[in-house]
Chain A
Amino acid sequence: MKNSSTAFKAPLAKFSLRSGLLACALAATVAFALPAHAGKKNDTLGFAYDQTPENIDPYFNNVRIGVIIAANVWDTLVYRDPNTNEYKGQLAKSWKQVDDRTLEFDLREGIKFHNGEEFDADSVVYTLNYVSNPANKATTQANVRWIEKAEKLDKYKVRIIMKEPFPAAIDYLATTVAIHPAKYYQEVGPTGMNLKPVGSGPYKVIEHIPGKSLTLERNKDYFKDSPKAQPTIGKVRIRFIPDRQTQMAEVMSGGEDFIMHVPKDQAEKLKSLPQLQVESGNTMRIVFLQMNTREGTPAPQLNDIRVRRAIAHAIDRESILKNIVGGGQIINSICTPSQVGCTSEGVTTYKYDPALAKKLLAEAGFPNGFEVDIMAYRERQQTEAMINYLNAVGIKAKLSFMQYAAMRDLARANKTSLTHQTWGSNLVNDLSASTPVYFGGGSDDVSRNPEVIKLLNEGDNSVELKKRQELYQKALAIIADQAYAVPLWSLPVYYVANKDVKFKPYHDELVRFWEMSWK
């Protein structure tokens, strides 16, 4: 048998040589026929993002990329300046508060949507009345449920009536409440808006392949009075690439020009490449360690204020921020520092002091510490760092890492002890979008302090700014004094871009294509 097979050897050598040559030829043709790239040369910014919006219509998705697309393709009545947090008129020329529940807007004239339809009171009235109707199932109800109705006074004057006094209304109107062309929206609805999106913003959609890519083109007729700058980059191609490694490979190979949400360690490695730039920015997302003190908590030790304070003293926030988080900033109240009403003035802060933590634990009757569960759903390294610090003072924290929905389910069922929470406020720059979620007596509130609940409620429904600030300050002071939660830091975001791209990161994580340019 052996010699029968050896007899075949010689001719086969020739054979494999030929196929080798063939493979080389094939490889060569591949190299010459690469598809067109994005980049400065083609005046096309390639932007890769990991999530796909289920619908491009801003009211029918709840992903970050949806917010980014909305800001570039659509306009809102009001504009929030990201540098000063000051409100400016965008589609509205000016506005005034008529009474507690009514806002009146004078609209700009002569603005046209991308399909040529004229912007006027009808656009505002139809859009707001459509999306605020629960039957139409807008995805993020919080953005629109405060609207009772919109009314047309004349062609360029509208009133927005709220269900109850809602001071944060202007902020919503400046961020998430985009205005659609009435006739077109009535005709095609959210489904048609997804397939062929039409707004009035600095970029218009020229192609949308759902789940794959979205191509934007500079709106040459963008109205000159807009507080958004006139766009300069010709085209923006957004591609949905779920895998982060693939995204990184794309910017490294020049296939894409811009990615965001890159983890710190990987962003730092990319810094060494000459063709790339790495920028980090602060975000509105805050991180805090929540402690369950509700009746029936699985960790009754947390009912003792000394234990809660000991936990606050045990964690070295500065060191974790510097070594693990990377950017961002320390927070001392459970709210985003830029939010209206958020303050750390008169609020107790807890210094890193493990000896004091141990002493407090001993006083509370736990000289050897205790065992406790800690739950988390993102930024696992940060949770692990906290666990190490807790261990050092004797608190043995056991990590359960899970999906956000599952963790929230457990918290609402009173089954959590310590939870590593993060909260982004849906971009709303008002305290009513953050602190009350966790301390206002709702289902995510695990401390349920009646005084705090009352103060926050009053603050949410007062119109006068000074009064609101006072009420919120009192609530924040109680939360800190009682150490219901350990305020930690705000999360940074890392952007990696081609050296040719000029851009500036903002704390609201909005990518403003209209401000970007080629170097």
Chain B
Amino acid sequence: MLAYITKRLGLAVLVALTVSILAFMLLYLSGDPALAIAGEGARQADIDMVRKTYGFDQPIIVQFGNWLLKIVQGDLGQSIYFKTDVGKLIFTKLETTLLLAIYALAFALVISVPLGVLAAIYKNSWIDRLCLAVAVVGQAMPNFFFALILIMLFSITWRMLPVSGSDTWQHFVMPAITLGYYAAPAFMRLIRAGMIEVLSADYIRTARAKGLPTRSVIFKHALRNAIVPVVALAAVQLGFLLGGSVVIETIFALDGLGYLAYQSITHKDFPVTQVIVLLLSVIYILLTLASDIANAWLDPRIRVA
């Protein structure tokens, strides 16, 4: 078990490193950062000054090395655009994004559990097909498009919800639905498959034969067992939802990490973009790692593989 954990941990570190190198390179490909920072009216002298001040005149490998060294020492650097501490900046935005991810996950579970159970019970009927359709649409529809449909309906036609912002819980309703709906199909299919398997198990027949009420059989006996793999998936999906918030936060003007990522990319604010990419990938990797280890602990067969 220890060997397995060490191996996974080593792999996780390598993945995080690769992701940050890739992000660093991609930012460079989209144009000279010094030019972008100096702005439209800058003269060559201004640009040279910027280049020197921020160390853009050094080879890219040196810049990357310096940055990594500082990160390891706990210094996340200064934002070029906002001219504040990157750590502080990110910390102030984290709450909104975490809230959004949790609401979205909650929404995903709230719709996927009943629909998954329904689909399993009415297997191969029109209800199952309908649930499948809901899942396919959720997975196939681009979330920015779905967001606009929600805005059209709930804000413009019915005037029920505010279009954008993050002041009250109402502001989180549409973003959470948009993000959660995209994550729901995976849960739905997993629950359906799990329920179908469990419902045909012997102990369910025994429970029913004991004369237990149907509801209690489904929710107490069947669902409890079918939902175990969902917990592991939820951990991974939470990481995915944190990353997926870039588009959603930008559309709904939620002042969180995703919007900060969008801003830092448009302003070529390297230090901020780098730390966000690193942070999100580390969270994602940690969640995946946790679910891997949990699974391995539950099921010894995985450890060998």
Residues of A at the B interface (CB closer than 8 Å) are 1-2, 4-5, 7-12, 15-16, 19, 27, 30-31, 33-35, 52, 54-55, 60, 62, 134, 137, 139-142, 191, 209-212, 239-243, 245-246, 249-250, 252-255, 402-406, 408-409, 412, 423-424, 426, 437, 442-443
B255 to chain A, nearest CB (A): 4
Chain B residues with Cβ below 8 Å from A443 are: 43-44
Closest 9 CB pairs of A and B: A406-B31, A405-B31, A405-B35, A241-B253, A405-B36, A212-B255, A62-B39, A253-B155, A249-B163
Central interface residue in A8, A134, A212, by most chain B CB within 10 Å: A8
Q: A249-B155, A250-B164 are in contact. Are A405 and B32 (CB under 8 A)?
A: yes
Is A8 a contact partner of B35 (Cβ separation < 8 A)? no
Q: A35-B170, A245-B148 are in contact. Are A11 and B215 (CB under 8 A)?
A: yes
What CA separation (Å) do A9 and B46 show in the bound complex? 73
Is A253 a contact partner of B118 (Cβ separation < 8 A)? no
Central interface residue in B41, B200, B208, B262, by most chain A CB within 10 Å: B41
A156 to chain B, nearest CB (A): 33
The chain A residue with its CB closest to the CB of B32 is: A409
Sampled A-B contacts (12; CB under 8 Å) = A4-B208, A5-B120, A8-B121, A34-B162, A211-B93, A246-B163, A246-B164, A249-B156, A403-B31, A409-B35, A412-B44, A423-B40
What CA separation (Å) do A10 and B161 show in the bound complex? 36
Q: A54-B82, A191-B83, A253-B159 are in contact. Are A211 and B215 (CB under 8 A)?
A: no
Residues of B at the A interface (CB closer than 8 Å) are 30-33, 35-36, 39-44, 46, 49, 53, 81-84, 93, 114, 118, 120-123, 148, 151-152, 155-156, 158-168, 170-171, 173, 199-200, 204-205, 208, 213-215, 217-218, 250-253, 255, 259-260, 262-263, 267-268
Chain A residues with Cβ below 8 Å from B164 are: 239, 241, 243, 246, 249-250, 255
Is A141 a contact partner of B214 (Cβ separation < 8 A)? no
The chain B residue with its CB closest to the CB of A134 is: B49
Is A253 a contact partner of B156 (Cβ separation < 8 A)? yes
Central interface residue in B35, B93, B120, B152, by most chain A CB within 10 Å: B35
Chain B residues with Cβ below 8 Å from A253 are: 155-156, 159, 163
The number of A-B residue pairs with CB atoms under 8 Å apart is 160
Chain A residues with Cβ below 8 Å from B165 are: 35, 239
A416 to chain B, nearest CB (A): 14
Is B163 a contact partner of A250 (Cβ separation < 8 A)? yes
Is B151 a contact partner of A249 (Cβ separation < 8 A)? yes
Chain A residues with Cβ below 8 Å from B200 are: 1, 4
What CA separation (Å) do A412 and B263 show in the bound complex? 27
What CA separation (Å) do A240 and B82 show in the bound complex? 15
What CA separation (Å) do A102 and B102 show in the bound complex? 62
Chain B residues with Cβ below 8 Å from A140 are: 39, 41
Is B83 a contact partner of A30 (Cβ separation < 8 A)? no
Chain A residues with Cβ below 8 Å from B49 are: 134
What CA separation (Å) do A181 and B182 show in the bound complex? 52
Is B251 a contact partner of A139 (Cβ separation < 8 A)? no
B273 to chain A, nearest CB (A): 15
Is B251 a contact partner of A252 (Cβ separation < 8 A)? no
Is A54 a contact partner of B81 (Cβ separation < 8 A)? yes
Selected contact of A30 from candidates B31, B39, B170, B262, CB within 8 Å: B170
Chain A residues with Cβ below 8 Å from B53 are: 137
Selected contact of A62 from candidates B40, B120, B152, CB within 8 Å: B40
Is B160 a contact partner of A4 (Cβ separation < 8 A)? no
